[in-house]
């Protein structure tokens, strides 16, 4: 593993206060032409991928920018190489997904347990659905919050989401446990109780595919 290079510098007395507040603007990877850059600072914009950005020990939400130049800034297409340490860990780059087929299944009980970590605010984590009947279960990130939605036909549906956000690139445990019309979503220490309206109380997905990290473009989501 390559170690980061550290540089140390000092300034004369009287120049020890870097005044940043809620009115300050932070530019990443470049700046616009409207901003006056001090002499000696390059205007050449950065080319590459930026990951974690910290200021005074606090992580900046690099994906939570207020403005962007779309033709110059987008999500990185390459996933950094990491030591996963387990064959049960999948790495996604925003363009793929893992697919498994549902085999033995009890429609009255559903339990999904997984771990994830990401900086992305909005993305699909898990999906399974019956295109013929419209029954489905979806777990995703919306604004960094874990959001779950399941539908069992007719008026038998409900959804809920966490209070906290979890797009902090830390391993986060998600457990969804449904028994008939009642379900519980647990994310770390948060617990969200869910109750769907009746009368349907079975999630009919035999033979359907389980999708992790995304869904194929051929999936007809209008059926759900």
Give the span between the Cα atoms of 93 and 143, in whole angstroms. 18
Band the pLDDT of 139: cuts 50, 70, 90. Answer: very high
CA-CA-CA-CA dihedral for 82, 97, 147, 165, to nearest 10: 20
Confidence of residue 84 (pLDDT cuts 50, 70, 90): very low
Q: Is the pLDDT of residue 198 over 80?
A: yes
In which band, very low, low, confident or very high, does the pLDDT at 49 lie, cut at 50, 70 and 90?
low
Ranges of each domain in the chain? 98-223
Q: Is the pLDDT of residue 56 over 90?
A: no
Q: Quick one: how far is CA 208 from the chain centroid?
A: 24
Q: Can you name the residues that pair with 29 across neighbouring β-strands?
A: none
Q: Report the pLDDT value the prediction gives residue 79, as an integer from 0 to 100.
A: 44
What value does the mean pLDDT take over residues 207-215? Answer: 85
Name the burial class of residue 100, with classes exposed (0-12), middle (13-18) and buried (19+) by CB atoms within 10 angstroms of its CB: exposed
pLDDT (mean) for 13-41 = 74
- Please state which of the four CATH numbers 3.40.718.10, 3.30.450.20, 1.10.1040.10, 2.60.120.200 is assigned to the domain occupying 98-223: 2.60.120.200
What is the mean pLDDT of the segment spanning 69-91? Answer: 55
């Amino acid at each position: 593993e390559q170690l980061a290079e550290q540089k140390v510098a000092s300034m004369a007395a009287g120049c020890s206060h870097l005044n940043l507040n809620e009115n300050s603007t932070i530019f990443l990877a470049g700046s616009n032409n409207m901003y006056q850059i001090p002499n000696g600072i390059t205007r050449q914009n950065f080319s590459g991928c930026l990951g974690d950005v910290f200021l005074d020990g606090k992580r900046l939400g690099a994906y939570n920018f207020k403005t962007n130049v779309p033709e110059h800034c987008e999500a990185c297409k390459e996933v950094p190489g990491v030591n996963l340490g387990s064959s049960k860990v999948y790495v996604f780059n925003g363009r793929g997904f893992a697919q498994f087929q549902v085999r033995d299944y009890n429609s009255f009980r559903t339990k999904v347990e997984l771990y994830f970590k990401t900086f992305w605010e909005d993305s699909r984590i898990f999906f399974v659905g019956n295109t013929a009947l419209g029954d489905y279960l979806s777990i995703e990130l919306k604004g960094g919050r874990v959001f779950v939605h399941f539908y069992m036909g007719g008026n038998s549906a409900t959804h809920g989401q966490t209070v906290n956000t979890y797009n902090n690139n830390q391993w986060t445990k998600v457990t969804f446990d449904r028994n008939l019309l009642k379900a519980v979503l647990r994310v770390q220490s948060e617990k969200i109780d869910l109750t769907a309206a009746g009368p349907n109380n079975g999630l009919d997905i035999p033979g359907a595919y389980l999708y992790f990290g995304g869904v194929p473009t051929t999936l007809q989501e209008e059926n759900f």
